[in-house]
Amino acid sequence: MAPKGNMTSHFIALEFGMLDWTLKEDRNPKYPCIIAPPRNKLDHYQILKFPLTTESAMKKIEDNNTLVFIVDICADKKKIKDAVKKMYDIQAKKVNTLIRRRTWLTPDYDALDVANKIKIN
């Protein structure tokens, strides 16, 4: 069954493709849209905001060899691990991310010594 009315011209245009009557030219801006290159907004100072000093965090330092930090919400586990390594020169064994981020240290480092170094206690 053939389409009625204006539908025939519509179907023909779709079948053969629309003709493009305008000339496509490359952009030639007078000045660039982006003036400065984008900077990294999450450096290691922005990722680790501050260490947590509550009683439960102190208990984790003493018992579990674990440091607790408040970190940026956009930081993932790899970024947190690298930031801890850059800022405090310690190797993190594992990073647990909840609302508070916990960093387990390798057996080479003692969390109590690191806590004293960064003046948590």
Could you give the strand order of the β-sheet that contains 101-105, starting from the edge strand earlier in sequence? 48-51, 66-71, 101-105, 92-97
Given this model, what pLDDT does residue 22 score? Answer: 80
Which parts of the chain register pLDDT below 70?
1-20, 99-102, 121
* Chain segment 95-117, per-residue pLDDT in tens: 988 765 667 788 888 888 888 88
Planar angle of CA 120, 90, 53, nearest 5 degrees: 20
Of the chain, the percentage scoring pLDDT greater than 70 comes to 79
Structural domains of the chain, with CATH: 44-117 (3.30.70.330)
Q: Which residue has the tokens 């960093």?
A: 103
